[in-house]
Structure 1
Amino acid sequence: MIYMDKHKLCSRLLYCVSVIFVLTKDFKGVGGLRCWKCIAHDCDLDPEDNFKATKVDCKGGNQQCMKVQYRMFDNVTHYDSVIRTCTDRPCHVTSMDDFFKCVATPKQYMIGGCTLRKCCSDRDFCNGAEAVNKRLWAFNIAFSFISITLFLMPKWYFVS
């Protein structure tokens, strides 16, 4: 009869999960920031699922990832567009409140427009979708489920 205590089993499980996590991680090259680049009509989609979006290495030391949503309108229609890219220019971030105030009070030109600009440099691909990385969520949910299951299993289950 072989008995494996919970600590040994959890330690082996944690080791396996760590190896899987390392093998599925996107490794960046030595150096700078990596961002999504997408300049097309459908860049508002999650870049992970958009074949037009590419992963790029930003050049230079003062780079940021940028995501800009444009809303242009005339008296009849409006057009939304999103771009994602690297930038070394100063980033004039606009808040959601400012964006919606602009949209609510169109300017009196031939065509009006508002921008919602976000810049970041705290992690690679920070100009991606607003949703949290799907792979990381799946990993956390699976790991939590396994940990809780192992903790709640009766002692006799580990005896063979």
Structure 2
Amino acid sequence: MVNVWNSRCAWRSLSLLLLLTDCVWTLKCWHCIADDCDKDPGGNYKAVERTCEAGQYCQKIFFEMFSTTDNRKYKSTVRGCAWDCLDKNDFTNCTRDMFSSRGCIEKSCCADKDLCNRASSLTERTRISMFVVFSIFVIFVNR
């Protein structure tokens, strides 16, 4: 009878210990800071899988601007781990002044699965917004 009680006591103690211990899960994200991070990171030797710290998100930032100084468009995509990541999309309201001064960014954050910052540089919302703007442009041009 003593052995059964000790066995139950041990399991109860172990269960209580597991309940009191915070389970910490880490996330793997693509990490890429190079000139071609807009490409699929799975086939890009410059992109590496990195284990983030507990509580971090995977993020992908797409940046675009037009420089009036040298009359060139600049684009950049960066992938990595981030703290307190919030989605942001300047492209929905990107004015000519913004585009030619500080540029516009689209930041997407995820923490639902490993390597979730793999998607293309433009989200579905951005594609729809660009389609609507293009459609309006075509309607006005054809009047």
TM-score in terms of structure 2 length: 0.60
3-state SS of paired residue (1:41): coil
Gaps of 5+ in 1: 1-29, 132-160
Percent identity for Structure 1 against Structure 2: 40
Q: Which residue of 1 aligns with 2:20?
A: none
Aligned mates of 1:51, 1:108 — CA distance in 2: 31
Larger fraction in strand = 2
Deviation at 1:108, TM superposition (A): 8.6
Matching of residue 49 in structure 1 with residue 43 in structure 2 = yes
Residues 84, 115 of structure 1: alpha-carbon distance in 2 compared, 3 angstrom cutoff:
same
Given the alignment, which residue of 109, 117, 123 partners 1:119?
A: 109
- Point out which structure has higher relative CO (alpha carbons under 8 A, 6+ apart): 1
Q: How large is the Cα RMSD of the aligned pairs?
A: 2.3
Q: Superposition pairs for residues 3-152 of structure 1, below 5 Å?
A: 31-59=25-53, 61-75=54-68, 76-88=71-83, 90-95=84-89, 98-102=90-94, 104-107=95-98, 111-130=101-120
Aligned mates of 2:79, 2:34 — CA distance in 1: 10
Gaps of 5+ in 2: 1-23, 122-143
C-alpha distance after superposition, 1:5-41 (max 9, x if no partner): xxxxxxxxxxxxxxxxxxxxxxxxx941000000000
Deviation at 1:92, TM superposition (A): 3.0
Deviation at 1:100, TM superposition (A): 4.2
Equivalent pair of 1:70/1:115 in contact (CA under 8 Å): yes
Moved over 6 A (4+): none
